[in-house]
Amino acid sequence: MTKFTTLPTLAAAAALAVTGAANAQTFDLQSVFGLNVPSIGPSPTLWAERVNEMTDGAVTINVHGAGDFVPGFEVFGAVSSGALQMGFDWIGYWAQQIPVANLVGSMPFGPTPDIALGWMFEGGGLEIIQRAYDPFNVKVLPCHLVGAEAGGWFNREINSVEDLQGLNMRIAGLGGMAMARLGANTQLVPAGEIYLSLETGRIDAAEFSAPQLDVGFGFQRVTDYYYFPGWHQPSSWDSIIINMDVWNGLDERTQNVMTEACMANITYNLGDQVNEQAAAIATIREGGTDVRRFPDEVLIALRDASDAVLDEQAEQDPIFAEALASLRAYMDSVGEWSTLQALPAR
């Protein structure tokens, strides 16, 4: 092997380097979450690293945590206006501007993660949702599929529907509306205030997330019961949002890379969530909290209330109505597969 490089080879390498430098792009992304929040926090960073690697370093995305540029709940508006190039969110945060985001963020008695994934990318879900984002000049990339949450932390035993009457509970979205129909007093308490609100009795109950996240907040130290299932949010989506002018300025290959990097993110995070829940539940039990399931009577009442809420919301927004009809039909059509494959219990 020669130790020398010919002049033509050097020239070609130099030309390639100049071309790469000319095509290099750098973007800023702000998350609505702190980057240290378990599971969700690192997600946009992992996505940015995948994009950088898949573009051979041509695209760099600098990821910032909540509040670095704008308050967390202002990320959508900042991306819409172009003040931020990119953001990372829980889709449901934008329900006031985009009603269908409530459905995708937290559909009570909605799809399991596998069915949510199928509907989003194969069943027409993404096309419907994007039409709701278009007037805001925002491209949405579903990028983190959140598994089922817990039903919540309670300092009141729930044995019947009547036990929900007058319950002061931190719960939002469509699930909160369903709870309210059954007599609960619902409110949205910021994540950082939930522990103190439970400890002082300001609220009797609170839902936040799955055990993997909940355990880090220490709620097991100030509650008696941890109820399942997470009927209000069997699956949910976090997303990368990109200013549409920025998105349209990307070449097709970079757009495809960003989409494929999200698919890799979804796969990784689903595995991580499944892996972490058992240990978290064990820690919660060790803290003295009684882990229980809601009685079937309560779940049936919550389902009826949820169906009523969903139908009411569909009457108020045509895209919500279209997405709800599409998702219900998809759940029914693919549901037979699960039924046919169901194995008997021991």
pLDDT of residue 156: 96
- List, in order, residues 6 or more apart from 302 with CB less than 8 Å away: 108, 109, 178, 179, 182, 231, 294
Q: β-strand 185-187 against 225-228: which pairing, if any?
A: unpaired
Coil, strand or helix: which one is 27?
strand
Q: Is the pLDDT of residue 251 over 70?
A: yes
207 is in an annotated binding site: yes
What CATH number does the domain located at 152-233+289-331 have?
A: 3.40.190.10
212 is in an annotated binding site: no
286 is in an annotated binding site: no
DSSP H or E run through 261? helix 252-286
Range 94-121 average pLDDT: 96
pLDDT of residue 133: 98
Alpha-carbon gap, residue 136 to 134, rounded angstroms: 5
Domain boundaries, given as residue ranges, for the chain:
24-147+235-276, 152-233+289-331
37 band by pLDDT with thresholds 50, 70 and 90: confident
Lowest mean pLDDT among 2-11, 62-71, 165-174, 323-332: 2-11
Q: Order across the sheet with 205-206: list the strands.
A: 185-187, 168-170, 205-206, 152-154, 225-228, 290-293
The CATH fold assigned to 24-147+235-276 is: D-Maltodextrin-Binding Protein; domain 2 (3.40.190)
**Inter-residue contact 69 to 84 (CB < 8 Å):** yes
Whole-prediction pTM: 0.89
pLDDT of residue 5: 34
Alpha-carbon gap, residue 345 to 341, rounded angstroms: 13
pLDDT of residue 82: 98
Range 48-73 average pLDDT: 97
Domains 24-147+235-276 and 152-233+289-331 fall in the same CATH topology:
yes
Alpha-carbon gap, residue 43 to 144, rounded angstroms: 7
4 band by pLDDT with thresholds 50, 70 and 90: very low
pLDDT tens across 112-133, in order?
999 999 999 999 999 999 999 9
Range 31-36 average pLDDT: 92
pLDDT of residue 190: 81
The two three-digit tokens of residue 218, written as one number: 């220490």
Q: Is the pLDDT of residue 20 over 90?
A: no
